[in-house]
Amino acid sequence: MLALTSVWTTILLAAAVALGPLATDMYLPALPQIGSDFGVGTDKVQLTLSLYLAGFALAQLICGPLSDRFGRKPIMVGGLILFALASIGCAMATSIETLMVCRFLQAVGGSAGPVLGRATIRDIYRPRDAARILAIVASIMALAPAIAPTVGGVLVSGLGWHSIFLVLGAYGLLMALVVAFGIPEPMRPEYRQPLRLCSLMRNYRRIGTDISFVGYTLTNAMVYGGLFAFLSGSSFVLIEFLGVAPEHFGLYFACMVVGYVVGNLAAVRLGRTLMPDQILVRGLVIAVAGGGLMAALALSGLYNVWAVVLPQALFMVGTGLLLPQTMAGALANFPRMAGSASALFGFVQMATAAVAGVLVGYLHDGTSMVMATIIAICACAALASHLLLVQRHPARGFEPQGASAN
């Protein structure tokens, strides 16, 4: 077993958290082909993504409290096994309806990785340290969305979209083995919570009425909604509207990932001298600038690949800066129920992302206009959440530099 604070534990947690991005980003180049194979429109195909997000959101509300009762490891391992089995079901789907059901089950299992990865980091580290570690984890796991669309495009071109889900199933099974035999249980026994409905409702009520939690969670969710608006619409905008080949889609997508990694690395560096909320403000300003620029270019009728990719890359720099801060801020006040807090945080995050994805699918007009507008609106809503809630109720534990021991 690895030490909880070792660099290898951080890397393995990043690999588990990366399950969510892999399950969305790898099959993005396949969306047009899936629609063609099943003879359905854009809205039906994008519903497989939105249902995945909905399942991801709902399942977190269950696996978070379960992990507060039984520990992080058994719930995470069980979820990863379910993810692997559901991925095989996706590969064998013969109708869009079957694919939707299997995607939902895939999300139920896959939710264990991110929600319990966040909770594990909160188990191990103090709030301010958690923000730094989450930024490091995000930098490592950014390898997944960097390579996933390219790998997905190659698999679609060479073996068909079914092969993507077989690869995801193998990854899920591998991660189940790694977590089971490589990472010790991080949760303190005295922090275990009773698994009773009244206790669960009381915990969720306490978490959901904490203004600090609400502020950080809404700020995160709005930005995440903008990110998933891009994920939901990018393959149709870049491949169908702007003529990018599926096997080249991942190369353009990598530009956004580079922006995200730049933001993560900047967050790690700035975390040595600035408070997390100061980093959060910088990220919001950059995200609003990126989303606003993309919307302005679309409104002006400038339609080309770089008018989409470069503003989104700027948006992702801001996202990389602010996401670790909002995650750590939302969990800061709840060391004894980090699983439940992480679950409610993830539920709001994914529910918002699902709504953004559905809107892009149903309002898509064949251009980048709808996607760009929704991204800009989400960025502005995140800024409003910060100004109205976070600034007035910052998280406890985000001490000024020097106020806490190393």
Query: pLDDT, tens digit, for every residue of 208-249?
Result: 999 999 999 999 999 999 988 998 788 778 887 788 887 777
Tokens of 85: 């089995």
What average pLDDT does the structure give for the chain?
83
| pLDDT exceeds 90 at position 61 | no
d(CA 284, CA 27): 29
- Amino acid 103: pLDDT: 92
CATH of domain 7-182+197-390: 1.20.1250.20
| pLDDT exceeds 60 at position 402 | no
Residues 6+ apart with CB under 8 A from 63: 75, 79, 111, 112, 115, 116, 339, 343
pTM of full prediction above 0.75:
no
d(CA 59, CA 115): 10
Q: Is residue 219 helix, strand or coil?
A: helix
Tokens of 153: 């495009």
- Amino acid 141: pLDDT: 64
Report domain extents, the chain.
7-182+197-390
- Nearest-CA neighbor of 146 among 274, 19, 256, 1? 256
Query: pLDDT, tens digit, for every residue of 238-274?
Result: 887 788 887 777 778 778 888 988 998 898 888 888 8
d(CA 235, CA 252): 11
SS3 letters across 118-153 = HHHHHHHCCHHHHHHHHHHHHHHHCHHHHHHHHHHH
**271: burial class by Cβ within 10 Å (0-12, 13-18, 19+)?**
buried
d(CA 103, CA 99): 6
DSSP state of 395: P
Most confident of 53-67, 89-103, 112-126, 373-387: 373-387
- Report CA-CA distances (Å) from 127 to 120, 132, 331, 404: 12, 9, 8, 11
| pLDDT exceeds 50 at position 299 | yes
Cβ 198 vs Cβ 18: under 8 Å:
no
Q: Which runs of E-coded beta strand occur in 223-360?
A: none
d(CA 216, CA 191): 24
DSSP state of 401: T
- Amino acid 406: pLDDT: 33
Cβ 106 vs Cβ 79: under 8 Å:
no
Tokens of 103: 């995607």
- Report CA-CA distances (Å) from 26 to 20, 167, 235, 250: 10, 10, 11, 9
Cβ 323 vs Cβ 353: under 8 Å:
no
> ∠346-349-353 over CA atoms, to 5°?
135
